[in-house]
Amino acid sequence: MSKPILVIKFGTASITLPSGEPDIRIISEIARQVSEIHSGYRIIIVSSGAVGAGKAYIQDYKGTMTQRKAAASVGNPLLVGLYANHFAPNKIYIAQSLCERQHFANRGKFLQLKETFEELWENNIIPIVNENDVVSDRELKFSDNDELATLLAVGFGAEILMFCTSVGGLLDEQGKILRNVSNVNEVFKFVRTDKSFLGLGGMASKLTFAKLAARMAIRVIIFGMNGKDELLEALKGNAGTLIQPGKSTLSARNRWLGSGGLVSGRLQIDEGASKALLKRKSLLAVGVTEVDGDFESGEIIEIYSHEKEMIAVARARETSSAIRANLKTLNFEVAHANDIVLL
């Protein structure tokens, strides 16, 4: 059997100094600890920090979109160079992969990305992934690298998804780390709404994407890099927060579809349609109560129940305008059962 896939995401705050520069000590520890488990996994590292690494080179930096792109273009090679230098003593080589949402929205492009990673793993090379900030615009940006890591984990069928944070796990009301979470919905109440001054995401973001990953039978671990061998200990279950995975028998194609890709719109459906979907029926227009967004046939949409809970993603069989015009038309198919993934 091939080795399981492990995706590890390092946020900006967890690998940078307060000045925004990469923390060499943390980068060195990441390389050392990842090297210890390298032989047992096909590893993807998703690393933030490029903007922080490069912003010192941008005059009068104020954090505008253009300045962020420029800082990322400077910071990406600097950050990758640091990873390369610290992995090299362990005879492990790395590759840079800058991703955009189109790589996930189009299945053909996604499969090309996966084939490239497979070739890297065959040669014992670890891909270091970041968003392609230089060309991404506001509409096509990932919400943050938590989403990027989750899309990779779900689409590739990873066994484990790890989120590194500055606090080392999900904290309860007393500020202690929750070691084991079986239901993500029950722990959102513990989440603070603030975020680091350098990063885009926060704990709410991690839990949102952890919920999706857990639905896809992926074990999610939220951990830190402040303690001794904390990455290794978290992987063993001795540190951080473990979010228990659910069960999933989805095909590779449906895992990709279920990851959400590039969502173009949303539908809300009535109770009858919700029950029909649970019985693996197709979605008909008469069951749709609300159409949100403009999308074309073949694009990915989210489906919400009458209780406003997201219950599925699907590939639309019709355009949003056609669906709106046929809400009362009998047997007008919005999404075929084979193109619907229940969440």
Per-domain boundaries in the chain: 5-252, 262-342
* pLDDT at residue 138, rounded to an integer: 42
* pLDDT at residue 260, rounded to an integer: 52
Q: What are phi and psi of 333, to 5 degrees?
A: -85, 125
Describe the crossing of helices 107-122 and 145-156 by its angle, rounded to 10 degrees.
80
* pLDDT at residue 333, rounded to an integer: 93
pLDDT digit string (tens) for the chain, length 343 residues: 589 999 999 988 888 887 778 889 999 999 999 999 999 999 999 998 888 888 888 998 988 888 888 888 888 889 999 999 999 999 999 999 888 766 676 667 778 888 999 999 999 999 999 876 555 544 434 446 788 888 888 888 889 999 998 888 887 777 788 888 877 666 666 655 444 333 334 566 667 677 777 777 888 999 999 889 999 999 998 998 888 877 765 655 566 565 555 566 789 999 999 999 888 899 999 999 999 888 777 777 888 888 888 788 787 888 899 999 999 898 999 998 877 877 6
In this structure, the number of other CB atoms found within 10 A of the CB of residue 205 comes to: 21
**How far apart are alpha carbons 52 and 196 in whole angstroms?**
12
Domain 262-342 CATH class label:
mainly beta
* pLDDT at residue 133, rounded to an integer: 58
Domain 5-252 CATH class label:
alpha beta
Terminal Cα distance for the chain, rounded: 28
Read off the DSSP letter of residue 41: S
**In contact, 78 and 19? CB cutoff 8 Å:** no
**In contact, 239 and 223? CB cutoff 8 Å:** yes
- 249 CB-contact burial (10 Å; exposed 0-12 / middle 13-18 / buried 19+): exposed
Describe the crossing of helices 203-215 and 145-156 by its angle, rounded to 10 degrees.
10
317: left (phi over 0), alpha (psi -120 to 50) or beta: alpha
Task: List the one residue out of 47, 45, 33, 48 whose CA is nearest residue 5.
Answer: 45
**In contact, 114 and 157? CB cutoff 8 Å:** no
